[in-house]
Amino acid sequence: MNIIFHPSKWLPCWLAGSLCVYIYESFTFESLTKTNPLHTSSPEKPPTTSSISLRYKSRDQLEHKEEQDLLKSRPNEKKNKKKNDTKLLANCYTNATTMCNPNTDPSSHSSPPTLSSSSSSSINPAQYLKNLKNSMDYYLPCPTPATSDHHPNPDLHRWPSTSEAVDEIKAIGKISGPTVMTGLLWYSRAMVSMLFLGYLGELELAGGSLAIGFANITGYSVISGLAMGMEPICGQAYGAKQMKLLGLTLQRTVLLLFSISIPISFLWLNMKSILTLCGQDESITSMAHVFIIFSIPDLFLLSLLHPLRIYLRTQNITLPITYCSAISVLIHVPLNFILVVYFKMGIAGVATAMIWTNANLFLLLFCFVLVSGVYKPSWVAPSMDCVRGWTSLLSLAIPTCASVCLEWWWYEFMILLCGLLVNPKATISSMGILIQTTSLVYVFPSALSLGVSTRVGNELGANRPARARFCMIVSLACSVLLGLVAMTFTTLMRHRWGRLFTNDPEILKLTAIALPITGLCELGNCPQTTGCGVLRGCARPTVGANINLGSFYLVGMPVGILMGFVAKLGFAGLWLGLLAAQASCALLMFIVVIRTDWTVQAERASELTKSPTSPSSLPISAPSTKAAEPIKVEVGKNNKTHDCINHEAIFFIGDEFLKSSLSPNESDSLLASQEAIP
């Protein structure tokens, strides 16, 4: 045994065998690199070969073919041929780094390979990196991407600079500025309608107010909330350049709102019997019934108008909405005069004028879309796709609707509670003045919320999570400033504001007491409204709905009842309940948005904006029975149709090839879809 295992016996054999294995592996590796599409002859200059055909479907077939070619070519090769492995490995590593690391400057390396194929589609960047890393293990260990946990993006952990903050304010202001003007115009339209109701008489004013409150609770809040469900999809789709998804979501939302408007219409037809069962005055109920019957067509108009406005706003088109709104509101005044005074239609004339104003706005916007050609990039011919794939839309629309309705309904419940206080006539009147005041002030944080929702959605759709985070920080700072301005305004105007509506001393006294509390409410309402916009842009409306439910109904309502009825603070106690709700809501919203993982949100946006008509990406082990066709790889050729180099690779996935693409250019059309190449 000692003789057999003596080193002098086995060591020469082991060295000879190792040498044979090394020679064999050297030839095999050389043959492999010749067929490797990532190989270039030197780091400085691309190879002269213009295309290489990949014809092998699996690793086993590739190795077998290379072994056969090696056996055939070995007699003709020089036995002492040497290969500069160090140079080759460095070149392969450079190409791998360029393709795997999205933060690598392509200009610092040799030109990466570019595919030419009849299909112009690609998968999303996140899936591309995942497939690339798994596939590159066959050639070389792929370097860790810069966005991994080992190398986090530093922009996700720093404050925006002054120039970045100014740029973000300009971007948000471009959307929110015209939206503020639109909100003020629409507020003036509501005031004009109330003035004409007051002109008709006390009964018409009471009936119209009751009908508007009923319509807000059962109809307008539902339509508005469901329509806002399309906002995160459209915002992220626009950022990801998925324009077809933008148009398809518009069609689906219109169908959804139409289908909801039908049962709401039947509910409105039976409003008189419902309110009579609730103990409302019969004469006021009859007048309200007339108003709401004439308002039924408004449901279907808003089912078209709300989605169209969101469709334009998510594309940063807001000025045309403001111009069209201004024209519609200007026509609203003579419409009321003609219908109410000239034709003496009474309360029905006020309702009809409101419908015609909405119709005018829709027609003006529709003409703008047609004339400007805004619809062309996102136009999708109506098909069965409109009635399929509603899961993502409903999963966003229902929580958004719940969030909007919970906040809208709170103020209606406040009016009901005012009727239980001492001197309900004065408290209800004062509550009406304060609600009009909060509606006016709410225009500004609401516009900021819509702007930040669009901005966050666009940035996440474009896979720029750091920019989305900067948008969140800047918008929250702006919302705090808005809250301070609102609080200062209501506090300084507490003795003068009520005189714009009434001269009753009791109403003026209650209004003056509650206005400073209203200002404190706005100090919390502005940040929480902006936070809701951030969550909508992230496609997380369920979180906002849960926060509103807990804050308004589990905190605000108990506090309001305790302070108003148990502590005997009366009208001011109800507003203290609203203050508690707004404070808790703002605090929870702040915690949620600050703790947001923006990298995860960017990945979710990528999933949400996948092409609706193309199949999902196949897993690495996906089976297939289709034979793989040759795909040509053009090496060292830049994409002439884009501003930057397009880095692409071919991966083996079962028996098929999957084309994957990653481009640093945010407007790269290759990010627009995803499908397997046959």
pLDDT at 221: 92
In the predicted structure, residue 481 carries a pLDDT above the cut 90:
yes
pLDDT tens digit sequence for 522-537: 999 999 999 999 999 9
For 45, counting Cβ atoms within 10 Å of its Cβ (0-12 exposed, 13-18 middle, 19+ buried), the class is: exposed
In the predicted structure, residue 331 carries a pLDDT above the cut 90:
yes
pLDDT at 142: 40
pTM over 0.75: no
Confidence of residue 1 (pLDDT cuts 50, 70, 90): very low
pLDDT tens digit sequence for 271-282: 999 988 877 788
H or E element in which residue 127 lies: helix 125-136
Mean pLDDT to the nearest integer, 477-494: 92
Q: How far is it, in rounded angstroms, from Cα 159 to Cα 103?
A: 20
Lowest mean pLDDT segment, chosen from 123-127, 448-452, 509-513, 669-673 = 669-673
pLDDT at 152: 61
Mean pLDDT to the nearest integer, 618-647: 36
Mean pLDDT to the nearest integer, 46-69: 48
Q: How far is it, in rounded angstroms, from Cα 297 to Cα 355?
A: 7
**DSSP-derived secondary structure letter, 564:** I
pLDDT at 618: 31
Confidence of residue 503 (pLDDT cuts 50, 70, 90): confident
The DSSP bridge partners found for residue 51 are: 634
What does the CA dihedral 352, 353, 359, 361 come to, rounded to 10 degrees?
Answer: -160
pLDDT at 470: 94
pLDDT tens digit sequence for 244-266: 999 999 999 999 999 999 999 99
In the predicted structure, residue 443 carries a pLDDT above the cut 60:
yes
More confident residue, 437 or 471: 471
The SS3 call for residue 114 is strand
**DSSP-derived secondary structure letter, 555:** I
**DSSP-derived secondary structure letter, 95:** H
More confident residue, 10 or 593: 593
pLDDT at 329: 94
Instruction: Label the pairing between strands 647-653 and 114-115.
Output: unpaired
Q: What percent of the chain shows pLDDT beyond 70? A: 68
Per-chain mean pLDDT for the chain = 75
Confidence of residue 500 (pLDDT cuts 50, 70, 90): confident
Q: Are 555 and 584 in contact (CB under 8 A)?
A: yes
More confident residue, 19 or 427: 427
* Nearest CA-CA partner of 253 in 282, 281, 279, 232: 232
The SS3 call for residue 657 is strand
Q: Are 97 and 104 in contact (CB under 8 A)?
A: yes
Confidence of residue 406 (pLDDT cuts 50, 70, 90): confident
Please, where are the H alpha helices in 201-346?
202-215, 221-227, 230-239, 243-269, 271-277, 282-294, 296-313, 319-336
Q: Are 245 and 611 in contact (CB under 8 A)?
A: yes
The SS3 call for residue 345 is coil
Q: Are 258 and 300 in contact (CB under 8 A)?
A: yes
In the predicted structure, residue 213 carries a pLDDT above the cut 50:
yes
**DSSP-derived secondary structure letter, 154:** G
Q: What percent of the chain shows pLDDT beyond 90? A: 44
pLDDT at 12: 55
Q: Give the 3-state secondary structure of 15-44.
A: HHHHHHHHHHHHHHHHHHHHHCCCCCCCCC
- What radius of gyration do the chain's Cα atoms show? 33
668's tokens: 């790269």
523's tokens: 């100090």
In the predicted structure, residue 23 carries a pLDDT above the cut 70:
no
Q: How far is it, in rounded angstroms, from Cα 427 to Cα 414?
A: 10
The CA-atom distances, in angstroms, between 167 and each of 172, 177, 313, 474, 510 are: 9, 15, 19, 10, 44
Q: How far is it, in rounded angstroms, from Cα 153 to Cα 158?
A: 10
pLDDT tens digit sequence for 384-402: 878 887 888 999 999 999 9
Confidence of residue 79 (pLDDT cuts 50, 70, 90): very low
